[in-house]
Amino acid sequence: MSGDPWPDGEAALIALQETIGALAPPPWEPAGSPLVAGCFVCFPRGERGAGRRGDPADAACAALRDGRLVASAVVRGKAAAAFAPGLLALREGRLLAAAVEALPDRPDVVLLDATGRDHPRRAGLAVHLGWALDVPTVGVTHRPLGAAGEWPAGAAGTAAPLRRDGEVVGYWLRTRPGTRPLAVHAGWRTTPETARKLVLRMCRVRTPEPLREARRLARAQRAAGG
């Protein structure tokens, strides 16, 4: 990889997304007891609107093996852009990358709150982050960006495909009965099926544990203000 993986301007990001989205890296499959990390960034509470460039931000990464927290890192910075659909990498990319790179050991796969192939250029932040760090990734969100699909039945573990332009790009996955399913996205070097299996494996409650722990750490850092 050459050049800056996190360009500052919208036009430069779109051009890079076109390049990343056209790539077809070899798929990754978990083996043994992988080190699964989750990363999350949070911004000040009570802000109105979609967010602005320069917003204070706290990003955290938590790495778990066999369900046990083995490492974590928290970094502080500022949003590099306002929020815009399809351009989340401008706002959060550098922060999330810094949090992952602050871990003492490289994770085998990273979960994050972002879409992957469900994106106009097949390169949502879940794909972009994995490409930039050369690590497999999976996106986990509350709703898809542009993909569509019916919700699965009410039992935990049930899933239904999310399709965009005829391609299965992820799954609705119900991780707990009686709760809204999660949108699970294929990211960098992960297929929709691998993403679905991994997220279900990592869930004790509705949200997968690495992502839940990263969210807790980022919010604690924000509350501490230091």
Q: DSSP labels for 29-49?
A: ---SS--EEEEEEE--TT--S
For tokens 């500022």, name the residue.
78
Per-10-residue mean pLDDT for the chain, 226 residues long?
A: 83 97 96 96 80 94 96 97 94 98 98 98 98 98 97 92 97 92 98 97 92 97 85
For tokens 């050459």, name the residue.
2
pLDDT value, residue 154 = 84
Q: How many CB atoms sit inside 10 A of residue 205's CB?
A: 10
pTM more than 0.85: yes
pLDDT value, residue 70 = 97
pLDDT value, residue 113 = 97
Residue 55 burial by CB count (10 A; 0-12/13-18/19+): exposed, middle or buried?
middle
Classify domain 10-224 by CATH number.
3.30.2170.10
List strand residue ranges (DSSP E) for 49-187, in order. 56-65, 68-78, 109-112, 137-141, 159-164, 167-173, 182-186
pLDDT value, residue 200 = 95
Half-sphere exposure of 71 (CA within 13 A, CB side): 15
| 162 vs 170: CA distance, rounded Å | 5
pLDDT value, residue 1 = 52
pLDDT value, residue 47 = 64
